[in-house]
Structure 1
């Protein structure tokens, strides 16, 4: 089968912009290609127009274009025209797109279109309880209406999206995002830097990073030597219009606490594993997510994790068995869970071991690739259902 993905990002050294969406698509594409499927990646809004051969996976970078009027329409039609040409030339059987800002609104393909709920603007605005631009909802609704079927990385994300877009009569299949188990191994989980807390992800309000200063202060009241390491890109803050969420965070830390905070910014993906290995506890206090790729990566590396307890997280971690689930705004309990782990090394090992087992059971990309293939085949040939 020849499968195409239309995406705003993809994990590759030549592509500057890539986060959870890019990583999850890369993992899936690699596993699908390994099982003898042809894969084409269309990445839009790129600074250059080029084709990259990534170990047999064809990556088409579609250069961004500017128009005097209605660029939101004409650029979409340009993407459609380009993809349609390649679809015909390469005999592509199905195309999958991300839901963000409804990129496939106004597009018409002669092959089935599947949309994966990586997280639409509609979804995130709902979770964050903030007002959405009407234009963004309109684009996303149009894109949803044109799709034949949908894949959700968690049942929670699927059910919320179904309700928000009033989806009826179309299949929504839950298939988790996954990772290559061999690529995330920690052969010495007993070795870590004590009393270190690691956060990985964009510094943005919806990820709960503005909760960390108070949580960190409470932990340092018990363990003054505690260090907090932050890895990820800085971002604009939508609530205060601040250009830097990191600057907002800095102003929230006490002066003494800030001396123990180290912000590394965005670092190469291949360096992140070393920081995960060194961490005593990993924290992900996010308010809005569909799954959380870095969470399952840390779980695979046998890390003790204190995660958000909202919806999707309950499909990743079993609370008090393979990690801890705490609401990000419950600073007292969040800090208490970290302190509990700092005090009990055997508990750190126990949760880490169970976290790895959980990933092996639920998030092995090779098993999930088979589920994706079955789903695609059912959409292409609805009268010949596979199991």
Structure 2
């Protein structure tokens, strides 16, 4: 079997962008390749055209094209023609693409198309209670309607997407993202920086970063040794028109709390694991995710996580057993959970061990790759 992945991001030094979607795709691609499946990755929205091999995977970088009119259409048709040529010449059996902004709208491939719900613009707008651009909705709906089947990382994300676009629920399969567990081993889980609280993610309103500032104000008031470390790209705030969301976050910290905050900006992925290992508690008060890769990465490294309690998170964490679930707007309870973990190291260790066990049971990429292969075969047949 030969599988092609169409994506706008992939973790490679020559690719222009890589975030959580990229990580989840690469984890699956590498595992599929190790199981003898031939894989090609087509990365669009790039600065150059290039083809190269890495670990038995052929990677195509597709440069952005400029068109005088209707670029959104003609660039899609260019990608369609490009991909179809390799479908024929290299015997590709199936194409997987993301739902975001409906990249496969107006495309017709010579093999079945499966769309994975990494999170459509419509999905995030619904969770954010924002109005979506009509054009984006149409593109995403056309793309989804053209697909043979769908994969969702959580049942919650699948159900919400199905409702938004009126999809056939029988064509939706829940398959979690996975981790290469050998890359997430913590040999010294009892060694970390006491009272350090870590947030990793884009600095954007939908991730609950404004609420996190208020939460930390309460934590810092009760625990003078607490430190908050934030890692992630800053972004504009659509609601206020501000060019920097972190500027808004910073304005919410109390004078005392601000002394104990360290915003590191974007950090190389290779360094993120060390930051997680050094943390006492990891926090993800998001309002909008499909799953949240960094949550399961933190759990795999035996970190107690205080996560949002919205939909998808309930499929990752059993509240009070292998993490804590609190709605981001419940500032007092969220702060209380963090303080409990900072105060009780035995509780932190217990929750961290249980978190690792949860990841081993549900998010082992080796097992998940087998589930994907079986599902791909059912679509092809």
Do Structure 1 and Structure 2 share a fold, with TM-score over 0.5? yes
**Which residue of structure 2 lines up, in the alignment, with residue 150 of structure 1?**
150
**Which residue of structure 2 lines up, in the alignment, with residue 385 of structure 1?**
none
More divergent stretch after superposition (49-58 vs 148-157): 49-58
Local SS of the residue matching 2:58: strand
Tell me the distance in 2 between the aligned counterparts of 1:150 and 1:169.
9
More divergent stretch after superposition (37-46 vs 165-174): 165-174
CA positional deviation for 1:169? 6.6
**Which residue of structure 2 lines up, in the alignment, with residue 271 of structure 1?**
271
Tell me the distance in 1 between the aligned counterparts of 2:212 and 2:144.
36
The TM-score, its normalising length taken from structure 2, stands at 0.99
Tell me the distance in 2 between the aligned counterparts of 1:167 and 1:213.
38
CA positional deviation for 1:256? 2.3
CA positional deviation for 1:168? 2.2
Across the aligned residues of Structure 1 and Structure 2, the Cα RMSD in angstroms comes to 0.8
Q: Structure 1: which 5+ runs fail to align?
A: 382-387
Tell me the distance in 2 between the aligned counterparts of 1:299 and 1:83.
37
1:196–1:169 distance in 2 versus 1, CA, 3 Å: closer
2:117 is aligned with 1:98 = no
Tell me the distance in 1 between the aligned counterparts of 2:17 and 2:259.
30
Could you list the structure 1 runs, at least 4 aligned residues long, displaced by more than 2 angstroms after superposition.
none
CA positional deviation for 1:170? 4.8
CA positional deviation for 1:367? 0.2
2:341 is aligned with 1:341 = yes
Tell me the distance in 2 between the aligned counterparts of 1:29 and 1:87.
18
1:302–1:337 distance in 2 versus 1, CA, 3 Å: same
Tell me the distance in 2 between the aligned counterparts of 1:321 and 1:137.
39
**Which residue of structure 1 lines up, in the alignment, with residue 311 of structure 2?**
311
**Which residue of structure 1 lines up, in the alignment, with residue 135 of structure 2?**
135
2:253 is aligned with 1:239 = no
2:222 is aligned with 1:212 = no
Tell me the distance in 2 between the aligned counterparts of 1:323 and 1:15.
34
| Paired residue total | 381
2:289 is aligned with 1:292 = no
| CA deviation string 1:207-227 (max 9, x = no partner) | 111111110010011101211
Local SS of the residue matching 2:233: coil
More divergent stretch after superposition (54-63 vs 248-257): 248-257
| CA deviation string 1:151-172 (max 9, x = no partner) | 0000000011111110127510
**Which residue of structure 1 lines up, in the alignment, with residue 256 of structure 2?**
256
Tell me the distance in 1 between the aligned counterparts of 2:166 and 2:45.
29
8 Å contact 2:197–2:228 — kept in the other structure?
yes
Tell me the distance in 2 between the aligned counterparts of 1:260 and 1:222.
13
Tell me the distance in 2 between the aligned counterparts of 1:106 and 1:368.
31
2:372 is aligned with 1:372 = yes
Tell me the distance in 2 between the aligned counterparts of 1:174 and 1:103.
22
1:217–1:169 distance in 2 versus 1, CA, 3 Å: closer
CA positional deviation for 1:247? 1.0
CA positional deviation for 1:15? 1.8
Tell me the distance in 2 between the aligned counterparts of 1:243 and 1:89.
46
Tell me the distance in 1 between the aligned counterparts of 2:169 and 2:328.
36
**Which residue of structure 2 lines up, in the alignment, with residue 9 of structure 1?**
9
Tell me the distance in 1 between the aligned counterparts of 2:188 and 2:245.
35
Local SS of the residue matching 1:14: coil
Tell me the distance in 2 between the aligned counterparts of 1:66 and 1:170.
39
8 Å contact 1:148–1:170 — kept in the other structure?
no
CA positional deviation for 1:255? 2.4
**Which residue of structure 1 lines up, in the alignment, with residue 322 of structure 2?**
322
| CA deviation string 1:45-78 (max 9, x = no partner) | 1011111211111110110011111011001001
Tell me the distance in 2 between the aligned counterparts of 1:257 and 1:232.
20
